[in-house]
């Protein structure tokens, strides 16, 4: 079944992308939850208009994204984690924890899906996260994982 996603879904696709999914997944989950619509000919014609409206909204937010990036650029965070005696942490540090810490310290609401951690964080130490606020705006935030 081909569908048009109305929001970005992890491991499926990005917003307004046409993807092929199993019939049951589309019919029983995505369409009833209003996360997707069937990719028939009329909806495919509407897709260009939906993308245009989304691009206009994103371009209006560009200034806000640039201000957010300036606030975050060069800043560092400290994330507490439980760790063993060798410095290996129990679990890992995820983009959700970084998003919560940014909200707590800088009072900025950043979606976890916009935060990218290039390496898997499984030990205490210093790391860098990339925050992709817009296709043209991104910021690097350094974070240190310390034992709690």
CATH number, residue 55: 3.40.5.10
The secondary structure of the chain as a DSSP string is: -EEEESS-BTTTB-TT-EEE--HHHIIIIITTTTSEEE--HHHHHHHHHHHHHHHHHHHHTHHHHHHHHHHHTT-EEEEEE-B-TTSEEEEEE-HHHHHHHHHHHH-----GGGEE-SS-EEESEEEEEEEESSSS-EEEEEEEEEE-
Q: Final residue of a domain: which of 41, 60, 79?
A: 60
Both 54 and 69 in a single domain?
no
Both 142 and 82 in a single domain?
yes
Both 115 and 84 in a single domain?
yes
pLDDT tens, position by position, for the chain (148 residues)? 999 999 989 899 989 999 999 999 999 999 999 999 999 999 999 999 999 998 888 888 888 889 988 988 888 999 999 998 898 999 999 999 999 999 999 888 998 889 999 999 999 999 999 999 888 889 999 999 999 8
pTM above 0.85, yes or no: no
Both 79 and 122 in a single domain?
yes
Q: Final residue of a domain: which of 60, 76, 97?
A: 60
| Residues of the domain holding 106 | 64-147
CATH code for the domain of 124: 3.10.430.100
């Amino acid at each position: 079944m081909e569908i048009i996603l109305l929001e970005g879904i992890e491991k499926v696709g990005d917003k307004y992308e046409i993807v092929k999914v199993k019939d049951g997944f589309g019919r029983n989950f995505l369409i009833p939850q209003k996360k997707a619509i069937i990719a028939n000919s009329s909806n495919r014609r509407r897709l260009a208009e939906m993308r245009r409206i989304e691009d206009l909204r994103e371009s209006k937010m560009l200034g806000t994204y640039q201000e957010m990036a300036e606030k975050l650029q060069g800043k560092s965070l400290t994330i507490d984690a439980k760790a063993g005696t060798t410095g290996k942490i129990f679990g890992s540090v995820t983009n959700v924890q970084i998003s919560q810490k940014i909200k707590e310290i800088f009072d900025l609401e950043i979606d976890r899906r916009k935060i990218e951690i290039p390496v898997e964080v499984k030990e205490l130490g210093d790391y860098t996260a990339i925050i992709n606020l817009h296709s043209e705006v991104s910021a690097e935030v350094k974070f240190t994982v310390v034992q709690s």
